[in-house]
Amino acid sequence: MKLLIIEDDSAYADIIACRMSRHGYCCETINHADLALNKARLWQPTHILLDLKLAHESGLDLIAPLRASLPSAKIVLLTGFASIASAVEAMRRGADDYLAKPIDSISLAKALHGEINLEAHKLKTMSPDQLVWEHINQILANNDGNVSATARELGIHRRTLQRKLQKKNLES
């Protein structure tokens, strides 16, 4: 099993490589998004661990070309900036899993082995309306139930958000 770790923080990439080598992976790291695709094509990894934020680039932009070059590789997106929106986008673009930093070695190994990540599976099976509702609930919780602050953060009018919340409550 060959694991390519695409991570701009070289110290963190080395730590992950050391940990995953204990789980049977032959690891290579790369710290630049612009070199990652060539490295992947040449080395042909079976698994790819991809950071969401790569210096001035987005790991999301690498998912589709990596998937096209290595259709059978397991691609796991790893991020310190987890959100429902980025998780949905990662899955839409072809990632197999989405994990938040920090991650322990056992959970990472499970994700790389294809053991189901319940959150990622849930996102893959949710309808767009359910995803929107999950996102609204997350932002509302982050704002301690403050509808005005949530509406501002979502970029919608407060009354529009109130109507959505009332409609959802009537459906329940």
Residue at which a domain ends, from 71, 95, 116: 116
pTM of this prediction? 0.68
With the C-alpha atoms ordered 146, 149, 151, 154, is the resulting torsion angle positive or negative?
A: negative
- 105 lies in the same domain as 139: no
- 64 lies in the same domain as 135: no
Domain around 156: 128-171
Strand partners, 54: 57
pLDDT tens series, the chain, 172 aa: 999 999 989 999 999 999 999 989 999 999 988 899 999 999 999 999 999 988 888 899 999 999 999 999 999 998 887 777 788 888 889 998 888 888 888 888 888 887 655 455 455 555 666 667 777 877 888 888 899 998 888 888 999 989 888 887 766 5
Residue 123 lies in a domain: no
pLDDT at position 134 is: 73
Quick one: tokens of 127?
A: 């309808």
The values of phi and psi at residue 32, to 5°, are -125, 125
What is the domain count for the chain? 2
